[in-house]
Structure 1
Amino acid sequence: MSSPRERNAHSKGSRKQGQRPFNRKPDNASDDWLWGWHAVAAALDNRKRGAAIRLLATPDRARELESRFGRPKALEVVEGAAISQILPQGAVHQGLALRIPPLASVALEDFEARRGAVLLMLDQVTDPQNVGAILRSAAAFGAAGVILQDRHAPKLVGALAKAAVGAVDKIPTAHVVNLSRALESLADLGWRAVGLDGHTETYLDQALDGGPTVLVLGSEGEGLRRLVAEHCDELAKIPMPGGFESLNVSAAAAVALYEASRPRS
């Protein structure tokens, strides 16, 4: 039987060169992490973020990071299993996890009300995968930004950021207390609001005029809340000749963004 000193020496020797001892204790708040290559790389590349607090990477991913960013000060080279221990169960981290200060909310006044500009407003869309997919579509179609409610929106980290594939750091987001008042402010700034509602007779292409537009989407179950709908200039629906009554909210957002991005005279 080996002595405690021998067991300790074996443990030290088993750690691969360049790897630090892994400490899980300070990071119980696993919902503050970003993970996955695209989410982490976009955050590190975003100058509006503060310095990384902790950056965990497997040896292969560490080499990729160093080739792109140099060696980040917060980098800790660890095994993939150690990263899995600190993240929520089932997180597909791709060998990377990052804690970094959150992005500051954008002010509504920062969105330029120019012709062809499109904003997305989400009314109590709370599923992180859906919000992440919507951010990805917003970035892909060149939206000016996304507006979320403070109390009824998931944090822009974790599974949401993974689903957004880096779009969390590429599309400006504004967090507001009250969506109805935000629509009033946007109207004063020159924006016109079009709410998506499957029960209206107006189709989306008929409601869009090419001016600065806020597309307002509600949750899948409830749709737009009454006060939010009343603050929209027009309600419109996506035509669905196949007979389905509705689309998943992230799919509806992608279709609406495509339609809104089409040139209009």
Structure 2
Amino acid sequence: MLLYGRNPVLEALREGRADEVLLARGVEPAFTREVEATGARVRWSSRIELDQMVGTTQHQGIVAEVADLAWASVDDILDRAESRGEPLLVVLLDGITDPRNFGAIIRSAEVLGAHGVVVEERRSAPLSPVVAKTAAGATSHLPVAQTKNLPRLIDQLKEENVWVYGAAGEAAQDLGRTDFSGKLALVIGAEGEGLRRLVREKCDALVRIPTRGQVQSLNASVAAGILLYEATRGRTPQ
């Protein structure tokens, strides 16, 4: 897989997932030194050649070939919370097929302390270079797992005393008046469609983000970031 973008490629170099990079001629010397400090071999190329190689101009002047991103398992996420002695915080995605939204949610989840992200196999964008670029390196630090059946997974989590909140703009329950202590799963639906009926019914509660403007809906990744921030405020290890 061709990985591009400064943060994701630097993370891959530091983890030993790549040992050679293509740099665009003219990138600033300070960034070149940062790349060389990882021990990677540097090959120089033109920006046009990099554009053609990755099919976008958004590579930020750096490209590396790495192994495809690997899916984690749901158990990896549960074990991560347990090993840290923290109440589980996991993000479940129901039909997020836009890779930039997917990557942005992974980034927010990692930054705000979630233990992982789970998607349904047939209703998600793949783990692609676009996802990795948008996640800005977070895919190297946060488990991202697949499940065959999201409603069934929600049932399994509830059996483990995980409280499941779904995001819905029309919900009566205000985000700011919701108890986010304990084990928690946040469910984010697709833009436009929202949560599927069965997924909605499986949630313990639906919550809304209060809005004041004329536009009543938020981008899925923005909504996920707000929910995660609110959920992590005041949470303490069990």
Give the TM-score, by structure 1 length.
0.77
Given the alignment, which residue of 77, 80, 99 partners 2:47?
Answer: 80
Preserved CA contact (<8 Å) 1:116 1:261: no
Matched with 1:35 is: 4
Question: 1:247-262 alignment to 2 at 5 Å?
Answer: 247-262=218-233
- Counterpart AA for 1:125: I
Given the alignment, which residue of 191, 202, 210 partners 1:239?
Answer: 210
State the alpha-carbon separation in 1 of the partners of residues 124 and 149 from structure 2: 12
RMSD, aligned CA: 2.3
Cα 1:58–1:259, aligned 2, differ >3 Å: closer, same or farther?
same
Percent of pairs identical after alignment? 36
Map Cα deviations across residues 64-92 of structure 1 (whole Å, 9 max, x no partner): 3222x1134xx54333222222111x331
Which range moves more in the overlay, 204-213 or 231-240? 204-213
Cα 1:156–1:43, aligned 2, differ >3 Å: closer, same or farther?
farther
Which range moves more in the overlay, 238-247 or 188-197? 238-247
State the alpha-carbon separation in 1 of the partners of residues 153 and 105 from structure 2: 20
State the alpha-carbon separation in 2 of the partners of residues 98 and 151 from structure 1: 28
Preserved CA contact (<8 Å) 1:148 1:176: yes
Preserved CA contact (<8 Å) 1:108 1:186: no
Given the alignment, which residue of 82, 104, 108 partners 2:74?
Answer: 108
Count of aligned positions: 227
Preserved CA contact (<8 Å) 1:109 1:189: no
Matched with 2:143 is: 172
Preserved CA contact (<8 Å) 1:54 1:76: yes
Shift, 1:241, TM fit? 3.4
Matched with 2:34 is: 64
State the alpha-carbon separation in 1 of the partners of residues 235 and 176 from structure 2: 10
Preserved CA contact (<8 Å) 2:91 2:186: yes
Cα 1:131–1:140, aligned 2, differ >3 Å: closer, same or farther?
same
Cα 1:80–1:57, aligned 2, differ >3 Å: closer, same or farther?
same
- Counterpart AA for 1:93: H
Preserved CA contact (<8 Å) 2:19 2:40: no
Preserved CA contact (<8 Å) 1:183 1:193: yes
Preserved CA contact (<8 Å) 1:194 1:207: no
Matched with 2:115 is: 144
State the alpha-carbon separation in 2 of the partners of residues 129 and 264 from structure 1: 28
Matched with 2:97 is: 126
Matched with 2:63 is: 97
Which range moves more in the overlay, 183-192 or 133-142? 183-192
Matched with 1:27 is: none
State the alpha-carbon separation in 2 of the partners of residues 205 and 43 from structure 1: 38
Describe the SS at the equivalent of 1:223. Answer: coil
> Which of these two proteins has the greater Rg computed from alpha carbons?
1
Question: 1:154-165 alignment to 2 at 5 Å?
Answer: 154-165=125-136
Unaligned runs of 5+ in 2: none
Give the TM-score, by structure 2 length.
0.85
**Which one has the bigger strand percentage?**
2
Preserved CA contact (<8 Å) 1:91 1:159: no
State the alpha-carbon separation in 2 of the partners of residues 177 and 227 from structure 1: 15
Cα 1:137–1:264, aligned 2, differ >3 Å: closer, same or farther?
closer
Shift, 1:214, TM fit? 0.6
